[in-house]
Amino acid sequence: MNRKTAFAITIILFVTAVVTFLLVRAPDRRRITEKPNDWFFSQRAFPYQDINHEKYFQGLKQAKTLRRAGLASAQRWTLAGPTNIGGRITDLEMSPTSFDTIYAGAASGGVLRSSDGGQTWVHVFDEALSLSIGDIALDPSSSKTLYVGTGEVNGGGGSLTYGGFGLYRSRDAGETWQHLGLAETRFIGRVAIHPEDPERIYVAAMGNLFSSNQDRGLYRSSDGGQSWQQVLFLNDSTGCVDVTLNPNSPDIIYAAMWERIRRPERRSYGGPGCGIYRSIDGGESWTELTNGIPNNSSQVGRIGISISNSDPDVLYAIYADNVGFFEGVYKSEDGGDTWTRTNDGTLRTRSIYSSFGWWFGNIRVDPNDPDIAYAMGLPVYKTINGGGSWSQVFLGVHVDQHALYIHPQNSDFVITGNDGGVYKSSNGGSSWQKFPNLPITQFYTCEIDEQVPERLYGGTQDNGTNRTLTGGLDDWHRINGGDGFYVLVDPEDNRFVYAESQYGVLRRSINGGSSFSSATSGISIFEPANWNTPVVFNPGNSKSLYYGTDHLYKSVDRARSWQKISPELAEQDSPGNLVFGTTTTIVVAPSDTSVIYAGTDDGNVWIGRDNGAKWTNISGALPRRWITRVAVDPGDAEIAYVTISGYRENSFLPHIFRTTDAGNTWQDISSNLPETPLNDVIIDPDDPSILYVASDVGVFVSRASGDYWEPLGEGLPNVPVVDLDLHNPTRTLVAATYGRSMYKISIGDVSGVRAGKLESRPEDFVLQQNYPNPFNDATVIRYRLVQATTIRIEIFDVTGRSVVKLVDGPTAVGSYQVSWNGRDRQGRAVASGLYIYRLVTPERIEARRMVLAK
C-alpha cells in the first residue's frame, strides 16, 4: 500500500468516524443551538422582539375577575405531585433568631414558608399577580417583616417568559401583602433594608431583559416604599443585579451593575456597563470601583457581591465574562478601594460556571468569619482561608446553585437552593439532606397511563422525565435525564414507554420504563428539532407514532425506525432567533387515521391526507403566531381546533380557532377567554361540544364549542399551565404547571359523564336564548323550572365583571321571563358589545351569550 492510498483510507476512516459520531451524538449538536429561555420567550414574543407585558398583566386581571365573579365551576383541583422532585429556587432567607423559620422563593412558583425547620411548607404569596420570584429580604429590625422582589433575574430558564410586577411587603410573616410599586422594573435581583432605618429600602432592578428601557438600575425609598427614586442609572441596557450595605455604616452601599440585552438578531450577556459601584452617602453619589477588578470592558459579564458582617472592610465579588465563562473571584480588604483575585485555580479547573455564568452570579460570606465564603455555580465551592484555596461542598446535590443562607447563630448551619430544590447542612456543607416536600416542579408535559391511571408521567425543566407508580405525592422518580419533554405510555401495552429530552432526543422502553434505548433511527440529524419536539401515537394503532422536525416522520414499529412522510413544513424566515423553524404539534384524526394535522412555530398549520402523501397549508386567515396545539374532533376529521401563543400589539388577538371544513375556513371561538397564550386544548370524547384549554393564566372550559368560557374549578395556582391530559374512563383531567408541579380534577360534573358511564343531566331547569338577539332597547330571557329551587340570573360583560342581577332568590316550579334594558345595577346604560347571562341553581350552572347593539 503506497502512502497516497494509505492517506486516502485514513481520510475515509476519519470522515466515517465523524459521521458516526454525529449520528450518535446528534443531541449535542442540537443542544448548543438555542437556550431554554429562547423557547419560552420566543413563542410568546413571536413575531415581535418582546412580549407585550401590559397585555399579560391585563390577562391576569381578566382571569382573576372571572374567578372572583363566581364563574368557576364547583370542582376543585388537587395536587398530584411531585413534592419530592423539587424545582428551581432563586432565594432563601431565615429568621436570624430561629432555626425553624425558612422562606424559599421559587423561580415560577411563589414564596413558601416553613415554621418547623423545613418539615412542612405553606405557600404564602399566591394572591400576587406574579409568582416569579427574584429575591426575598427580611427586615433586620423585624423578623416578621419581609419583602419580595418579583421577576426572576437569572438570565435563562423558562420563568423569564414573564417578569414580575415590582416589590411586595408583608408585616405578618407572609399572611398578608402590600404592593409597593416598581411594577416596571420587571426583574429584581436583590432587596436590601437599612438596618437602622427600616423605612429606607434599596432595590436592585434589571428592568426588561429583552429590550432597552429606562427602568433599570438601583432604586431607593426613604418612606417605606410609598415613593421611589432611581439613584443609580447607567444606560438603558444596564441594570442592577446585586446590592449590599455595610452593616456598621449602612450609608455605604455597593451595587453590581450588569449590561444585559437580547435582540431578535443577537444576545449579549455583558459589556462596558458591567461593574461595581460604591456610594458613601446613602446613594446620593456613586463611584465605580476599578482598582484590581475588571471594569469598562466589553468582556465583563454578570457580577455578584457580598460583604462580611463581622468585618465590613472585607468584600467578595464573583465575575463571569460576557459569554458566561467564569472570570474569577475577587476580594477586597479595605472596603472596596483595592481588590485582588483569589487563588481560584480549583474553581477554574472545575469549571464552576461551565459556559453560562449569567445563570448564577452569587457569592456569600460567613456572617461570623470573613475568611469563610461560598461561591455558587454549577456546584458550591467554599473557602476557609479567605480565598487562598477552594474546595467543593454540598457534594451530590442538584446542580445550578442560585441561593445560599448561612445562619448567624451557627455558621455550620447552611441551606442552599438550586434547580432541584432546597438542601440543608449542619456541618458547613460536608454532608446534607434534601427537603423532599416542595411542590414547585416546572413541568413541560404530562401523561396518564391509560391502563393504570394512578401512574402519572411528566417532562420537567432540568429534572428529567419523572413518574409516580402509585399516584402518591412524594414517590416520584426520574426515568430519563436532561430536560424532560414529551413522554408517552402505550395505551394498549404499558410496557412500551417513550421519553424525550431537549431537541427531540427520543428514547424508548420495552420494560415499562425501567430502561431506555435510542429511538431516532432514520430521523435526520441535520433537520432542526424544537426544544419541545412533538411525538404522538396514532390513535387507531399505538404501534404507529409520528415525530416532527421541520418535516414529519412516521414509525410503524414502535419507534425502532422512522420514515419521512412530509415536505418541509416550517422555515426559519424571521430575523435572528425568534423561531426555530420546526413542527410544534401533531395530531392524527381518531375517526380517520389517514388524516394528519401539524402546526409549526412560524405560524403554519398543515393537513396531510392519504397517510401523509398529500399536504396542504391551511393556515388561511389565522394570525401568524406560534402554533401550540391542534386537536381534532373524535367523530369528524373535518372539525379541528387550533390554539396559538403570543400577544397582540394593537387589535384584539384571538387564541383559539375552530374549523368545520378541514381548514378551508376558521372561526374565532375565543369569546370571553382572557387574552393570553393558550398551550393546549382537549375535546371531551363523550361530548365534543365541551372543550378544555390550558393557558398561561389557568384552565378554562367551554360547554358550547367555545361560545362561552368559564374557569375550570378552584384551587389551581396562578402559574402557566402548559399541558393537559384526560383519562376518560375515570373522568380525570391532569394539568402540568410550570412551577407548581401537577394538579388533577374530576370533570364528571362538567358533562354528566362519570367514571366511564354516561349519566344524563338532571333537567332541573331550561334556559332559553334571549329574544331579540342582538337587541337595542331591551331583550327578554325565558326560563322554566322543573323543580322548586333557589336561582340567580346574572349578567356579565366579557371580562367577567358582574353588570346586574335580574333574579335572586327562591322560585317555584313554572315558566318565567325577565327582561333587561341594557343598564347596570346603578341604572347606567352599558356599552354595546357581547354579554353573558347565566342562570345558577345549587345543582348546576348554564350560561348563554347575547349582543347589545346600539
Task: Summarize pLDDT for 648-684 with one digit per residue, the tens.
Answer: 887 789 999 999 999 999 999 998 899 999 999 999 9
- C-alpha span between 429 and 408 (Å, rounded): 15
Residues 564 and 601 in one domain: yes
Per-residue pLDDT, 800: 67
The number of domains in the chain is 3
* Confidence check: pLDDT of 33 > 50: no
**pLDDT bucket at 69, cuts 50 / 70 / 90:** low
**Does a structural domain hold residue 73?**
no
Residues 506 and 428 in one domain: no
**Does a structural domain hold residue 655?**
yes
Q: Cα separations (Å) of 415 from 101, 265, 410, 412, 494?
A: 12, 40, 12, 10, 40
Report the pLDDT averaged over residues 583-603. 97
* Confidence check: pLDDT of 34 > 70: no
Report the pLDDT averaged over residues 299-317. 97
The CATH number covering residue 807 comes to 2.60.40.4070
Nearest to 632 by CA among 586, 582, 670: 586
**Does a structural domain hold residue 439?**
no
**Does a structural domain hold residue 32?**
no
Span of 143-157, 492-506, 630-644 with lowest mean pLDDT: 143-157
Report the pLDDT averaged over residues 246-275. 88
Residues 96 and 183 in one domain: yes
Per-residue pLDDT, 600: 97
Span of 127-131, 267-271, 448-452, 787-791 with lowest mean pLDDT: 267-271
Scan for cell 393557558, then name that residue.
695
Residues 685 and 712 in one domain: yes
The CATH number covering residue 511 comes to 2.130.10.10
Report the pLDDT averaged over residues 549-573. 94
HEC string of 173-211 equals CCCCCEECCCHHHCCEEEEEECCCCCCCEEEEECCCCCC
Beta bridge partners of 26: none
Burial status of residue 651 (CB atoms within 10 A of its CB: 0-12, 13-18, 19 or more): exposed
Span of 216-220, 332-336, 606-610, 802-806 with lowest mean pLDDT: 802-806
Residues 179 and 134 in one domain: yes
Amino acid in the structure at residue 64 = K
Report the pLDDT averaged over residues 368-396. 96
- C-alpha span between 43 and 681 (Å, rounded): 17
Residues 749 and 838 in one domain: no
Beta bridge partners of 303: 319
Residues 770 and 752 in one domain: no
**Does a structural domain hold residue 65?**
no
* Confidence check: pLDDT of 775 > 60: yes
**Does a structural domain hold residue 74?**
no
**pLDDT digits 0-9 by tens, 42-63:** 899 888 878 888 889 889 988 8
- C-alpha span between 757 and 823 (Å, rounded): 44
**pLDDT bucket at 483, cuts 50 / 70 / 90:** very high
Residues 429 and 451 in one domain: no
Task: Show which of 380, 408, 434 is a domain's final residue.
Answer: 434
Residues 155 and 281 in one domain: yes
**pLDDT bucket at 12, cuts 50 / 70 / 90:** very low
Q: Pairing state of beta strands 656-659 and 201-205?
A: unpaired
416 grid coordinates? 442552599
Find the Cα–Cα–Cα–Cα dihedral 722, 727, 730, 733, rounded to 10°.
Answer: 10
In sequence order, what are the residues at sequence separation of 6 or more whose Cβ sits closer than 8 angstroms to the Cβ of residue 777?
A: 821, 822
Indicate the average pLDDT of the chain: 90
* Confidence check: pLDDT of 840 > 90: no
Residues 304 and 425 in one domain: yes
* Confidence check: pLDDT of 290 > 50: yes
Residues 362 and 380 in one domain: yes
Helix, coil or strand: residue 827: coil
Task: Show which of 434, 460, 495 is a domain's final residue.
Answer: 434
**pLDDT bucket at 35, cuts 50 / 70 / 90:** very low
- C-alpha span between 100 and 256 (Å, rounded): 32
**Does a structural domain hold residue 413?**
yes
Task: Show which of 434, 459, 484 is a domain's final residue.
Answer: 434
Residues 429 and 547 in one domain: no
**Does a structural domain hold residue 723?**
yes
| Residue numbers of the domain that contains 789 | 765-852
Q: Are 311 and 369 in contact (CB under 8 A)?
A: no
pLDDT: which is higher, 736 or 840: 736
Per-residue pLDDT, 160: 61
pLDDT: which is higher, 40 or 824: 824
Q: Are 404 and 415 in contact (CB under 8 A)?
A: yes
Per-residue pLDDT, 70: 55
In sequence order, what are the residues at sequence separation of 6 or more whose Cβ sits closer than 8 angstroms to the Cβ of residue 39?
A: 158, 530, 531, 532, 580
**pLDDT digits 0-9 by tens, 384-435:** 999 999 999 999 999 999 999 999 999 999 999 999 999 999 999 999 999 9
